Amino acid sequence: MKTTEMKYKLAQSSWDSEEIEVLKQVINEGNFTMGKNVKEFEESFADYFGSKHAVMVNSGSSANLLGVASLFFKKSNPLTPGDEVIVPAVSWSTSYSPLQQYGLKLKFVDIDIHTLNYNIDELEKAITEKTKLILIVNLLGNPNEFSRIKQIVKERDIILFEDNCESMGAKYKNEYTGTIGEIGTFSMFYSHHICTMEGGMILTDNLELYHILVSLRAHGWTRELPKVNSLCVKEDDTFNESFKFILPGYNLRPLEMSAAVGKVQLKKLEKFIETRRKNAEIFKDLFSSFEEVIIQKEVETSSWFGFSIVLNNKLINRGSVLKKLSNKGIETRPIVSGNILNNPMLKYFNYEISGEIINAEKISKNGFFVGNSHLDLEQELNFFKTTLYESLY
């Protein structure tokens, strides 16, 4: 059976001979689990984004899990089961799952149809005296309106947790997203801004949370903690300390190979994002006056993970459009989860809905996205517009 040649892929490898060479070096050295490359990559990553501490894990999903877990073990005002967490109605499944796994109560808020992030007016209405945490998801590379969010929470004791897995390198008023909240998480999966095969990172300026994250990442033990730390008094006896467990931890350790590749990829990130933003300018020029669709409105400086399309005419059948795009070799996906409340996983959650979920439902029914890349996509984007136009009329 003849297969369609893909003309516009969701993602393409950003590796070259440099990444292959460092993989060979790790293999030749013979140490594959978390070691010097991980430590060096963490230090470089924290330095690049201007954060005090970085903790690498095996995926962005694990970064979310570890980040949520750490907030239960801090000494001052820790999270407890049943605490209220505000979340957007659109994100990835593992933005939400750690919150459920730790017994938190979720309050869902609708998104803005243009930015795809929080509808800030609805977010403000949702906050109560019970609110302990706001999950801020910077969707598809686009920063949230942090000035307004900070103004809303003001002096309230509410933790801002950034899921920045789709937005590495984005900026809000010259601050990198992922560094604005108490904790920020990143993903380095194949289709993301840099690729380490699998991999995630957590950034924080809070020393206590950093020590908690380090312990939780590897079994809950003390081994990687410094002698002077926020959690315990370490003995001088390294034998006793080698298997001493102080927290109910995990094994989310990354591989040396992923970290070695990460060090190379991080040096290329600025150039990657420069090209992604050039592609975005082409995309906006092509579609901003296309009345049949709504495209994502950039807030401050997006790193443009991908390009969203929301069909803006009730007479247009999305299924028919997607089929025609696929037949022409254009890969598409839903806009992340669409309205996550439509997914069967929610039957396991303790949650409520604040206001009406209108825009998330619109993108569930009428939205999709195509990929962005570190490569020039001018030809692909023009082909996409022509094909989309033909599929609509």
Catalytic residues: 192
- How far does CA 249 lie from the centroid of its chain? 22
DSSP-derived 3-state class of residue 138: coil
Residue type, 150: K
* DSSP string over 151-190: HHHTTS--EEEEE-TT-TT-EETTEETTSSSSEEEEE--T
Residues 77, 80, 86, 90, CA torsion sign: positive
Q: Where are the beta strands (DSSP E) in 320-377?
A: 351-353, 367-371
Residues 6+ apart with CB under 8 A from 249: 215, 216, 217, 218, 219, 220, 221
CA distance 203 to 186: 8
Q: Which parts of the chain fold into alpha helices (H)?
A: 17-29, 36-49, 60-70, 93-101, 120-126, 146-153, 207-217, 238-242, 256-287, 318-327, 359-366, 378-392
Half-sphere exposure of 305 (CA within 13 A, CB side): 27
Is residue 145 a contact partner of residue 170, using CB atoms and an 8 Å limit? no
Backbone angles phi, psi at 287, to 5 degrees: -115, -10
